[in-house]
Structure 1
């Protein structure tokens, strides 16, 4: 379920970011490009979540 929610929020935020950046630069908004970027960012976030150690779990006995 965490994969779904990670993708869901990343997808929404990347679409919003792409729309705002396109508006600010004066180019056309492209849904497909923003969607591909959202998938790539989701994969990076999930990989970083597995690589980075959980410091709070190490201190508890």
Structure 2
């Protein structure tokens, strides 16, 4: 369940971020780029959560 919610939030935040950045640049919104950005965000969150969990268990 944790992974599903992370993917959903990454898609939402990545989509909003992509929309805002393309609007500021005057470019058309591209859903494919938004999905790629969201995938990168989700992978980074998974890696970061694993690193933080490991470091907190060592202390």
Shorter-chain TM-score bucket reads 0.7 to 0.9
Rounded Cα–Cα distance in structure 2 between residues aligned with 1:54 and 1:15:
31
Q: Does 1:8 align with 2:8?
A: yes
Rounded Cα–Cα distance in structure 1 between residues aligned with 2:20 and 2:43:
23
Structure 2 unaligned segments of length 5 or more: list them.
Answer: none
Residue 19 of structure 1: how far off its partner (Å): 0.5
Number of corresponding residues: 56
Moved runs in structure 1, 4+ residues, more than 3 A? none
RMSD over equivalenced CA pairs, Å: 1.3
Structure 1 unaligned segments of length 5 or more: list them.
Answer: none
Residue 54 of structure 1: how far off its partner (Å): 2.6
Q: Mean alpha-carbon deviation: is it higher for 20-29 or for 46-55?
A: 46-55
Residue 40 of structure 1: how far off its partner (Å): 1.4
Larger radius of gyration: 1
